[in-house]
Structure 1
């Protein structure tokens, strides 16, 4: 049963409130452009069709550096805890994966401009707000304000048992996340010791310095439930959304506007503005016929046992954002499928923008060569369509709020 309690309101500013922050620079783009890093074996697609995609750090470092060269705004790593064999099949889909928190942090010293978003299960194991406040402030300084975190509560049915825990009820998890995020805000903003007696986490004379460079690190949220949205609009700068109607674009552009409108309304009630991004799987070739043939080849080589194992993993969990996913082309992965010639991919982006989405977080099947094809054929069309602007570096990284005179 959820407890009822009040938390002190925090004066903590978002990095977006500072004109010179990396987040403010990114938010000046008409349409955000991110890359999901394949730090897990098999990426997003359990298929045996040959490809270069690799979970290794060197591969993902090269992808990140290339994305930065191309003007991408952010890279993002997911987090998961899979048992031996992963989700099954001959590929042992996602059995091997790098930790998102560590891997993304390691990119900080190897990059200059791109935002780096880690994912962390804050309710698994002995995580405490003081830990993450200190670690987060440290990474914020190493990355010079480019690091951020997607704090997740864990929807999977089996993962908590790895940590000797029982699964926490869905809405209670977000109540706990609200407390956790509020304690982080207090630790990042307070110039005095902090003593609190719960709920969930207590601390005595807790203090964190250095403070983050721009109020706090960048905060991202990924949830489609009512409880998750309430949490997200209070604490996040960017919300990673899914299509309520599944992976086909024609369905998404009908269902997404209402979903985005609900997020914006909830954010406005908190006096905040939150940007939304969605994950399309990009299968692009010079012609639509070639792109469809590429998709069909991936599906023909699908590791069907792994496809079903991953689907069962989702069914056993309580994530609400993926409940209406269709079985059509399920082996392809990703939340949306954009399949076609370069012009069709950009048309899809424009439809998503017109549906209210603020940007995309891309996945590919064969990441390195597919990213190069995207760079050569799709990215110039995005500039022509007004979806992207040339990156203008901020002047000195001012720590004055954007609204200050």
Structure 2
């Protein structure tokens, strides 16, 4: 039996029968994924996150992935400057949810692996086996410098490799010694251990060659951006082949998208134009372009415009702009690449997500990429039965 079969038999939602799985990205940081100054009711506080999570559970989503940030990027919006720390966020969210799979995003240079292993095991107990780990090495140097850390890229993945190997031994072994390049541990011991079989789900979004090899060797899902439908197929096939041929492992892929769904295409693009082109935070976008070493001077105006707009709109995610039918069609095409699912983001979750859930999700069920949500179906059947009973009472009078 493969590792994926074990996850599936254990009822892990990340391995359910839905061809296209859905999650939410970054509800724990201000602006979430949108670098904009547009008005919104969204706040990255616990109360709002609980409301979002309950909407997700009612609609049948699979997961939430928070963003790990220790400082903002500056600019008028100070993008992602307000952030709920992800281990404590995950533990709190675990206590008030029942089905959704939660991830903890962790900068591996900032947390000792023994501490990380213990915290994830604790959240595993709180959540009854619904916590996974998203490992990031850290690319925003100002954050790592706050911790007195500064690593070259290749060194970062050597560190991450040793880090996750210690974490996994803490989860599965008792009384072991470890001596490596970065950690020396004597007589390691931990209780409790995670209840999940075979272990908590691991994800990573490394895009360099060392990052992709790290993901292929250790994780269950590799996260990345879609540049095109064809590129999505090539990326997924590459990662599956890399994992199997180099490490004799299975791996899936996951991407991220931003949603602007309205009754008409005109309304959707009008709102996109407002929050991206009129109210986009150009200052923070310039800063992020520099951090990603985007040489705008050597690119065409069309490339620069599209690249910048995608970052403002949703951290470079795949654009889902249009009517419910158009958004559903685009999601079906994402599914056809072989990508397991997508995290979605909204400018205003509480205002926009209910419409997406009500209008788009049934279309995905009709297209066969998602199974009917049992709770929604049961609730609808209950309403029909209640209406029938009320009609009978009225007729009897």
Partner of 1:331: 312
Q: How does 1:5-404 map to 2 (within 5 A)?
A: 14=3, 17-23=6-12, 26-82=15-71, 86-124=72-110, 127-165=111-149, 167-190=150-173, 192-213=174-195, 214-243=197-226, 245=227, 252-269=228-245, 270-299=247-276, 300-315=278-293, 326-334=307-315, 335-390=317-372
Distance 2:13 2:234 in 1: 26
Aligned length: 361
Q: State which structure, 1 or 2, has the greater radius of gyration over its C-alpha atoms.
A: 2
- Judged with a 3 Å threshold, the aligned counterparts in structure 2 of structure 1 residues 15 and 210 are, in CA distance, closer, same or farther, namely farther
Partner of 2:382: none
1:63 is displaced (CA, Å) by: 0.4
- Judged with a 3 Å threshold, the aligned counterparts in structure 2 of structure 1 residues 24 and 283 are, in CA distance, closer, same or farther, namely closer
> 2:69 touches 2:81 (CA, 8 Å); kept in 1?
no
With normalisation by structure 2, the TM-score equals 0.85
- Which digits, 9 at most, give the CA deviation of each residue in 1:316-350, with x for residues without a partner? 9xxxxxx9982345421232211111111111111
1:371 is displaced (CA, Å) by: 0.5
- Judged with a 3 Å threshold, the aligned counterparts in structure 2 of structure 1 residues 163 and 356 are, in CA distance, closer, same or farther, namely same
- Judged with a 3 Å threshold, the aligned counterparts in structure 2 of structure 1 residues 262 and 168 are, in CA distance, closer, same or farther, namely same
- Which digits, 9 at most, give the CA deviation of each residue in 1:82-123, with x for residues without a partner? 2xxx33333232221111222122100100010001101011
1:313 is displaced (CA, Å) by: 3.6
Distance 2:117 2:81 in 1: 30
> 1:15 touches 1:215 (CA, 8 Å); kept in 2?
no
- Judged with a 3 Å threshold, the aligned counterparts in structure 2 of structure 1 residues 25 and 281 are, in CA distance, closer, same or farther, namely closer
What is the RMSD of the two structures over their aligned residues, measured on CA atoms?
A: 2.2
1:46 is displaced (CA, Å) by: 2.5
- Which digits, 9 at most, give the CA deviation of each residue in 1:202-222, with x for residues without a partner? 111111122211232121111
Distance 1:94 1:130 in 2: 28
- Which digits, 9 at most, give the CA deviation of each residue in 1:180-225, with x for residues without a partner? 11122222112x3011222311111111122211232121111222
Distance 1:161 1:52 in 2: 33
Query: What is the SS of the residue equivalent to 2:253?
Result: strand
1:28 is displaced (CA, Å) by: 2.2
Query: What is the SS of the residue equivalent to 1:112?
Result: coil
- Judged with a 3 Å threshold, the aligned counterparts in structure 2 of structure 1 residues 295 and 24 are, in CA distance, closer, same or farther, namely closer
The runs of 5 or more residues in structure 1 that have no matched partner are: 1-12, 246-251, 317-322, 394-405
Distance 1:232 1:25 in 2: 17
Distance 2:40 2:19 in 1: 32
